[in-house]
Structure 1
C-alpha cells in the first residue's frame, strides 16, 4: 500500500480553547514547508540551539547516534544471524533522506522534547515498515482512549492513539521513542521541559548581560573635583552629564577644577566568565556529558585519557539513547527479529590494540580471520577461514620436550 493511501495530507486543522472559546488554525502537514518537518526558523527548540554549549552537546550526541551503523538480527537455531540486506527501517527509514539525517533529527527531538516520533506510511510483505515520515514531537498529541470517548470511537478503550496529520493514529502506525518519564506516562520528558526556565534560561541571560556590558555600559571612572564649594546637587549633575556623554559617544567638556581618572576594565568581569563557565558545566550535566566535551577548561589530557573518555561517552551518556531506539525499532519488526547499533567502531581501541585483540581471538578459536577483517571494514578473502581451520586442526600440538631431551640451541 503506497504513501497516498495511508497518509491523508490535511493541510490545516482548527483548535478551540475550551476556557476562552478562541479558535486558532494550525498547519499540520505540507509538502515541504512548515508542518510535518521541523521549521528551524520558527524556533522549534525555543532558542536552545542558539546556546553554543547546548548546540555542541546536541550536535555531538545526535551526530554519533545517527552516524553509527544499525543492523537487524534474527534467531537461527539459537544463534543470532544478521539480516541481509538490512531492513529499510534501519537502513533508510525516511527516503530520500539518508539514515544519518533521520536518526540524528529524531535524536534531537528526543533530547529537547523527550520524544521522537515517526508515522509509518508503507510496509513490506512481512508487514515490516519500509517507509517512515518523521514527525516533530511538538506537533503530536497523545492520549489513551477512555470509556466515554466519542472523538476516537474507532479504537478500543484503553488504546493509546496519536493525533498526526489531522486524524488519530494507532500505536501500530507510529514509531515513538519515549525518553525519561514517570511510570505509565504517555510521553517522555525532555530538556526543554525540565531546564528551560533554569540552566538554559540562565545561559541565555548571561550572554545578554555580557553583550550589554561590552557594548552599552559606561566605563568605570573616578571624577575628582578640586572645588571646595562643590555641592551634592552639582556633583550629581556633573556625574549625570558624564554618563550621558559617554552613552551617546560625544565629547564632554570639563572645567579646570575637575579631573577624570579612568578605572581599567576587567575583561573577566566584563564577559562574566566565571558565571558562564558555571553555566557551561550545568549544560554538560543536563546532556550527560563530561564538561571537557563542551570545551570547558580541564587538566592536562593524555592520549589514554582521551581514548577512555570516548568509551565513557558511549557507555554512560549515549548507551541509554541507543537502547531506547533499539527496543522501539525492534518492536516494529517481525517476531524473532531485533535491532542493534553497531558500536564496535566507537568502542574499539587504537590500531595496535585492535590487532592484538584480533590475534588473540583468532589464536583461541572464537574469531575467524574474515570476521576480524570485517571488524576493520575490510572485504573478506575467499577461502581464508577454511585455510585457517585446516592449519589449526592439522598443526601438531606443541608440548614439553620429552624427559632427557635437549632443547634446540642448548648445549
Structure 2
C-alpha cells in the first residue's frame, strides 16, 4: 500500500518508518503496550479472579502462536493499527478449541461483505488467494467512522509524512553537495567561452563539490569569476521545517514530543513525571488497550462465556521499573484492606507467608472482621495497669478527684460536707 503526496514522495509503511519521529512514536506505543501483562479473568458475582486454567490465558499471556511471544504479538497489533489502521489474525482451532492466532499482513488483506451482511476476508498470501469467514479472523480495527475496516493513519497523514520525507531528502542532498546549492560563472567583459571551456569548468566544479572537499581552494581559468548563491539550511528554513514535523507527526500519533526526545518546548501535561505518565496512559495508551480488550471479548470468547470471562491489561506493569512507586502502591493497598499480604507478595512473584491471607487496615492493622471489637485479654491487661498506677479503675480515680475539688453550687468541697 502506498499513496502519493503533494511533495512528490510516495508514502508507504516502509518509508514512514524511515522517519525518526514516526519510528519513535510507533515504537513507543507498541513496546509500552507489549510490556503490559494481558490476563484472562473469571467473574464470579461482583468479584473477579485471574483464571490461568483457561486455554485463552496461555494464548494471551504466554504465546498466541508458534512464532511469536505475547509481547511480540501485542507489539504487532499496535504497530499495524498505527500504520494500516487494522490488525488481522487467523484463528486456528483443534476441534472447537482455539489453539492459536496467526498474524496476517494487513497490506495483503481485502475485506468485503457478502449478501448475508457477514464480513469476508480476502487474503492474497504467499500460498495463494483464499477467502475466510469472519469467524476465522481476529480483526482489531483502529479509529474509524463505522466502516468494515479502520482508517489508515498514514494514508490520511500522507501530506505531513510526504513533506517530512521530502525535507529529510533535501537535507541529505544539501549535505551531500557541500551545502552549496548553485552559483554563476561570470566571464570577463569582452570574452566569450566555448562549449569545450564550459564543459571543462563543470568538470572542475564537480571535483570540488561534496562535504569531503569542504574548505579547499578552487582555481579558476583566466577571464572567469565565480559568484555563488548562498542558501544555507537556516536561510531555507530547512531546520525549522524538520523541527516542526516532529511535533506534527507526534500530533498524528497522539504522543507527547518529550517522550521521544523532543524537549525544546515544555510540556503542558503537568509538572511532575507522574502527571505526565498519567496523561500518556489516559490519552495515548488507553484507546489502544480498550480496542484490544473489546476485540478479544467479542471475537475470541464465545457468546455463552462473555458474561463471566474477559481479558484485561494489568496497568500495574508500568510500575515494574519504579521500585519506590510500586512499594508505595502495595503498601497503601495492603494497609487499607484492598489486598492481603499474600496477594501483594504474589504480585512480586514471592511465596505466600503464614497468616498473610487476612485483610488488614491501618488502624493497628486489625482484620476487617475485628474492627470495633476489643480483645478480653487486652482489657484485663489494661485494668491491671490502671490498678497498679492509680489504685483502681480510671473512672473511679476521676470521680474521686472531682469530689475533692468541686462542691454543690459553689459550696464547700464534697468531701468536706
Q: TM-score, normalised to structure 1's length? A: 0.71
The equivalences for 1:8-407 within 5 A come to 45-85=13-53, 87=56, 88-91=58-61, 92-123=63-94, 127-146=96-115, 157-164=116-123, 166-183=129-146, 185-196=147-158, 198-216=159-177, 219=180, 230=189, 245-249=204-208, 251-255=218-222, 266=232, 268-269=234-235, 272-299=238-265, 305-331=272-298, 332-334=300-302, 335=305, 336-346=308-318, 350-386=322-358, 392=367, 393=370, 396=374
CA RMSD of aligned residues (A): 4.0
Deviation at residue 176 of structure 1 after TM alignment: 0.2
Give the 3 Å change call, closer, same or farther, for CA 210–84 of structure 1 in structure 2. same
Q: Determine helix, strand or coil for the equivalent of 2:352.
A: coil
Which range is displaced more, 358-367 or 326-335?
Answer: 358-367
Does the 8 Å CA contact 1:210/1:270 hold for their aligned counterparts?
A: no
Which range is displaced more, 75-84 or 110-119?
Answer: 75-84
- Cα separation, 2, equivalents of 1:271 and 1:89: 51
Deviation at residue 311 of structure 1 after TM alignment: 2.6
- Cα separation, 1, equivalents of 2:174 and 2:260: 25
Deviation at residue 210 of structure 1 after TM alignment: 0.7
Q: Determine helix, strand or coil for the equivalent of 1:172.
A: helix
Deviation at residue 307 of structure 1 after TM alignment: 3.5
Give the 3 Å change call, closer, same or farther, for CA 396–300 of structure 1 in structure 2. farther
Which range is displaced more, 349-358 or 84-93?
Answer: 349-358
Structure 1 residues 196-235: Cα deviation after superposition (integer angstroms, max 9, x where no partner): 2x1111111111111111112673799898x9x726977x
- Cα separation, 1, equivalents of 2:176 and 2:344: 59
Q: Determine helix, strand or coil for the equivalent of 1:384.
A: coil
Runs of 5+ consecutive residues of structure 1 not aligned to the other structure: 1-42, 147-156, 406-411
Deviation at residue 339 of structure 1 after TM alignment: 0.8
Does the 8 Å CA contact 2:345/2:351 hold for their aligned counterparts?
A: yes
Larger Rg: 2
- Cα separation, 2, equivalents of 1:350 and 1:121: 38
Give the 3 Å change call, closer, same or farther, for CA 260–102 of structure 1 in structure 2. same
Q: Determine helix, strand or coil for the equivalent of 1:84.
A: coil
Deviation at residue 278 of structure 1 after TM alignment: 0.7
Which range is displaced more, 168-177 or 300-309?
Answer: 300-309
Give the 3 Å change call, closer, same or farther, for CA 238–283 of structure 1 in structure 2. farther
Q: Determine helix, strand or coil for the equivalent of 2:83.
A: helix
Deviation at residue 169 of structure 1 after TM alignment: 1.4
Deviation at residue 105 of structure 1 after TM alignment: 1.5
Give the 3 Å change call, closer, same or farther, for CA 216–374 of structure 1 in structure 2. same
Q: Determine helix, strand or coil for the equivalent of 1:366.
A: coil
- Cα separation, 2, equivalents of 1:333 and 1:224: 75
Structure 1 residues 62-98: Cα deviation after superposition (integer angstroms, max 9, x where no partner): 1112221100112213311211146233121112421
- Cα separation, 2, equivalents of 1:140 and 1:221: 47
Runs of 5+ consecutive residues of structure 2 not aligned to the other structure: 1-10, 210-217, 379-385, 387-393, 399-417
